[in-house]
A and B are shown apart, each in its own frame.
Chain A
Amino acid sequence: MGQYVVTRILLIVPTLVLVMMIAFFLSRLVPGDQASSLLRLQGIQPEDKNAATEYVKNYIKFGMDKAVFYISVVPDYYPKNINALTSQNEREQVRQLLNQKIPFDDISRFITNKKIAASDELTLVGDSVSSQTLVQTLKKLDVISDFSEIYTLSTELSQNKGQNPSSVNALISSIDQMALSQKTWYYPIIYWHGMDNQFHRWFANMFKGDFGISNNDGRKVGHKILEAAKWTSILLLLNIIFSSMIAIPSGLYAGFRENSLFDKLNGFIWLIFYAMPVFWLASVLIIFFTSGRYGNFMNIFPTPGDWTFPSDLSVPAIVSKFSQQLVLPVFCLVANDIAMLSRVVRNNVVEQKTKQYFAVAKAKGISDWKIMKNHLLPNVLLPVVTIIGSRIPAGLSGSLIIEVIFNIPGMGRLIFDSITTTDWNVVFSILLLVSIFTVVFMLITDIIYAIVNPKINTSLQ
């Protein structure tokens, strides 16, 4: 057994690493980048003078100039690390030009020549029409990323080659060079970036418990998640308590009186609740039972939404404030969860009834109530407890939509709000934490199950 536990714990490590890698690469796929989000948070507008320099500062602070992973496989004409270009516009332009299969060497020559020409242009601003158009064309070159358009601009420029300053002529020749060296085919090249990369940094931060800051309000993501986790765990706990309080007795009795009216009714009711979409149930309950619109007697529960803690933090005050609001959400969660639990209990009882101890107890004439309480329940309880445990990660998913509907500030509501406001740090931190929680919980329930049920094969084949 000890060996089984140790092996299972060791086997979980590669899974966790892979889960983290998936979360990381998903987080790199999202639109927008964090440096400009921080810029917005700092109150710097994109057209401000210091925007560009502040952007570069943020960019380097977040380590976004590093390579993404330990290795990269790129086409042969790509640079080793395109993120090393710190200016946002420049990087975007280079990336677009690279996608049109133009080698990086020629692009970088074009960029430097463009910069030289732009600095030259300040000295040659004159009244003549040609210099005016020259300035305009140079400005256009900064924003255009379609190479055919760049090429047409350069042919326009080269028409009055004699009058152009030498820097502009160099720019024209570098554009010609780009046209000549445009590729049609490419092959992969593998680069090794060492330990100094974004993934390594991210991984290390996550291990230290540093999830970064929220792009919306600049608070620490860890704090936000901790606050939200409180509510989610309250919901989960209430869900488990109530669903087992209802499911275990009803399943026990239904299994004991197999195929009786109660058994059939029990199965039928829970089947209905199981098929009922939880968000539909929640919406219907909110509409009918939280307002006096359909008669005053229907206005039973308060409108959900006020989840701030009362000023005096005594237990009765908190309970009286939240208990009324929590009835509907917990009811929805329980209704959805109970069907499976009740069925598991029932099937376990049916299985236990074939055992000899049951027949003996019956033969001795013990009352039904005592048989259920003293004989069936202890035997059924252990597998049921592990099943309740294994349902907890699934309960997280279920509570997401309930939190959104009832405005409960839990983890589900937090991830939903963060997605709609593109606060990616929070989104992927929650995704990662929830997945790790799931993995660890599955491990724990597996081990407990193996301990309470020695019949299970622990040889790991």
Chain B
Amino acid sequence: MKSKRNTSFRLSVCVLGLYIAVAVMSPFLAGSKAWICYVNKHLLFPKWQDKTPSIGSPDHNSICIYPIIPYDPLVTNISTDANLSPFSDQPGKSWRNRHWLGTDKLGRDVLSGMIYGTVTALQIGLISIFFAFIIGVTLGILSAYFRDDGISLNMVQLMGVFLAFIMGLFFLYWELAMYTISQWTWIIMISCVLLLIYAIKLLGRLKGIKKYPIPFDMMMVKVIEIRKSFPSIFILLTLSSLFSFPSIWNIILIITILGWIDFARYARAETLSVKEENFIVSAKVLGYDAWRIMYKQILPNIMPTLLVVGCFSISSAILLESTLSFLGMGLPVEQVTWGRMMSEGRTMQSWWLVVCPGLALFIIILCLNNIASMYQKTGTRGML
């Protein structure tokens, strides 16, 4: 199978690695402050120090190491640098101070903005899909493994679950509404939930009470259906307008809420097809408990499909983020994003502001799609 992963797959992985490297190294690649200075026998780190100690004027022995691109993405310079094209001659600029990809109407460097835009894009894509993966895969496997009759609870347990659910939602809502939520509230609530789960498990030992199956799978299917009935960009725009303060975490939260459904769908479908195979049956015969089977037998077997879904999800999360910031919604103004640069370029009719960040976006989406479809061809069963 490995030999089938051809050059285009390797190239995609390399380019993706390059993006991650750029994001991680972004403080070293662009910025107006030096990383390290050795001035008057003092070692300074101006980039990470808010206050520079006064050490007098530098002598001839002082050395400073600057980032490669000496511009901050948000520092404006309207008087001399506004709206420069990459090919225009930039008078008085040495090759080091040149704006290689031009500037926007406020004189902000485009290349520096693209580097910090990579950070935003990857941050949103990776973090939100990480959470979506965990939530979606857990619920998907659970619903497919237990179906509608896998878990049966007696009347006492059912009432306990119902009560706990209502009370939990109630206190969560009102504590949030009253702004009194603190880490202690979380600790108390989580320990209450754990205690309740244990109590409900103990209550299952009660003999002689009729048990009722919980239609967990049916509920899951319904949730998936409802999510599917809201077109993503419409619901995304609406949700992002509900927050009073724009922040990157809002977008991460929304993409997680919208994105876990895909993982749940595919994890459910794959688990259903794996479930009937011999190794699962023998694991059951060996007396392994359900959790172990789900974690050690099912999860590794459905992982290839989930990776494909993961790659597609990351690319669509990045695309959603840039779409949102292109429309100017959800993200704070001081957050550097590819989408915002492009929307500025569109209104200013400056091609470099549209082409360069758009190319970065296009290439990362192409790579992720390519990796996903290569996985899809070589490593997965059924589905997709």
- A residues contacting B by CB (< 8 A) are 14-15, 18-19, 22, 26, 29-31, 73-75, 99-101, 186, 188, 271-272, 274-277, 279-280, 283-284, 286-288, 291, 293-294, 393-394, 396-397, 400-401, 404-405, 415-416, 419-420, 422, 427-428, 430-431, 434-436, 438-439, 442
B228, A73: Cβ atoms closer than 8 Å: no
State the majority secondary structure of interface residues on A: helix
Complex-state Cα separation, A399 to B339, whole angstroms: 18
Known contacts A283-B354, A287-B354, A430-B234; decide if A15 and B229 are in contact (CB<8 Å): yes
B228 vs chain A, min Cβ distance (A): 7
A287, B327: Cβ atoms closer than 8 Å: no
Contacts of A30 in B (CB 8 A): 241-242
Asked if B96 CB lies within 8 Å of chain A CBs, one says no
B231, A280: Cβ atoms closer than 8 Å: no
Contacts of B235 in A (CB 8 A): 431
Contacts of B349 in A (CB 8 A): 287, 291, 293
A279, B170: Cβ atoms closer than 8 Å: no
B177, A99: Cβ atoms closer than 8 Å: yes
Contacts of A22 in B (CB 8 A): 226, 230
B358 vs chain A, min Cβ distance (A): 4
Complex-state Cα separation, A294 to B319, whole angstroms: 29
B112 vs chain A, min Cβ distance (A): 20
Known contacts A15-B229, A277-B323, A419-B329; decide if A283 and B234 are in contact (CB<8 Å): no
B342, A434: Cβ atoms closer than 8 Å: no
A-B contacts, 13 of them at CB < 8 A, read A99-B177, A279-B322, A279-B323, A279-B326, A283-B342, A284-B354, A397-B231, A397-B234, A401-B233, A415-B237, A435-B229, A438-B229, A442-B229
B344 vs chain A, min Cβ distance (A): 11
Contacts between chains A and B (CB distance < 8 A), count: 130
The residue in chain B whose Cβ has the minimal distance to the Cβ of A73 is B170
The residue in chain B whose Cβ has the minimal distance to the Cβ of A75 is B174
Partner of B358, one of A277, A286, A404, A416: A277
B346, A396: Cβ atoms closer than 8 Å: no
B324 vs chain A, min Cβ distance (A): 10
B362, A431: Cβ atoms closer than 8 Å: no
Known contacts A29-B242, A427-B238; decide if A275 and B369 are in contact (CB<8 Å): yes
Contacts of A186 in B (CB 8 A): 174
B230, A19: Cβ atoms closer than 8 Å: yes
Complex-state Cα separation, A446 to B166, whole angstroms: 36
B174 vs chain A, min Cβ distance (A): 6
Contacts of A279 in B (CB 8 A): 322-323, 326, 339, 342
B178, A99: Cβ atoms closer than 8 Å: yes
Contacts of A431 in B (CB 8 A): 230, 234-235, 238
Asked if B179 CB lies within 8 Å of chain A CBs, one says yes
- B residues contacting A by CB (< 8 A) are 166-167, 170, 174, 177-179, 222, 225-226, 228-235, 237-239, 241-242, 244, 315, 319, 322-323, 326-327, 329, 339, 342, 345-346, 349-351, 354-355, 358, 361-362, 365-366, 369-370
Complex-state Cα separation, A284 to B167, whole angstroms: 53
B369, A277: Cβ atoms closer than 8 Å: no
B234, A287: Cβ atoms closer than 8 Å: no
Partner of A15, one of B225, B315, B370: B225
The residue in chain A whose Cβ has the minimal distance to the Cβ of B328 is A420
B102 vs chain A, min Cβ distance (A): 14
Contacts of B323 in A (CB 8 A): 277, 279, 401
Contacts of A401 in B (CB 8 A): 233, 323, 326-327
The residue in chain B whose Cβ has the minimal distance to the Cβ of A422 is B241
The residue in chain B whose Cβ has the minimal distance to the Cβ of A294 is B351
A419, B231: Cβ atoms closer than 8 Å: no
Complex-state Cα separation, A75 to B172, whole angstroms: 12
Contacts of A188 in B (CB 8 A): 166-167, 170
Complex-state Cα separation, A438 to B179, whole angstroms: 37
10 smallest A-B Cβ distances: which pairs? Answer: A280-B358, A275-B366, A397-B233, A397-B231, A99-B178, A439-B229, A283-B346, A275-B365, A283-B354, A188-B170
Partner of B241, one of A18, A73, A293, A419: A419
B247 vs chain A, min Cβ distance (A): 16
Known contacts A99-B178, A101-B178; decide if A280 and B362 are in contact (CB<8 Å): yes
B354, A277: Cβ atoms closer than 8 Å: no
Contacts of A272 in B (CB 8 A): 366
The residue in chain A whose Cβ has the minimal distance to the Cβ of B363 is A275
The residue in chain B whose Cβ has the minimal distance to the Cβ of A398 is B233
Contacts of B346 in A (CB 8 A): 283, 286-287, 405
Known contacts A275-B362, A275-B369, A434-B234; decide if A73 and B166 are in contact (CB<8 Å): yes
Known contacts A15-B225, A277-B319, A284-B354; decide if A416 and B238 are in contact (CB<8 Å): no
Partner of B354, one of A274, A280, A436: A280
B109 vs chain A, min Cβ distance (A): 20
- B222, B231, B366: which has the most chain A beta carbons within 10 Å? B231
Complex-state Cα separation, A26 to B234, whole angstroms: 13
A283, B166: Cβ atoms closer than 8 Å: no
Contacts of A99 in B (CB 8 A): 177-179
Contacts of A280 in B (CB 8 A): 342, 354, 358, 361-362
Partner of B355, one of A14, A284, A405, A420: A284
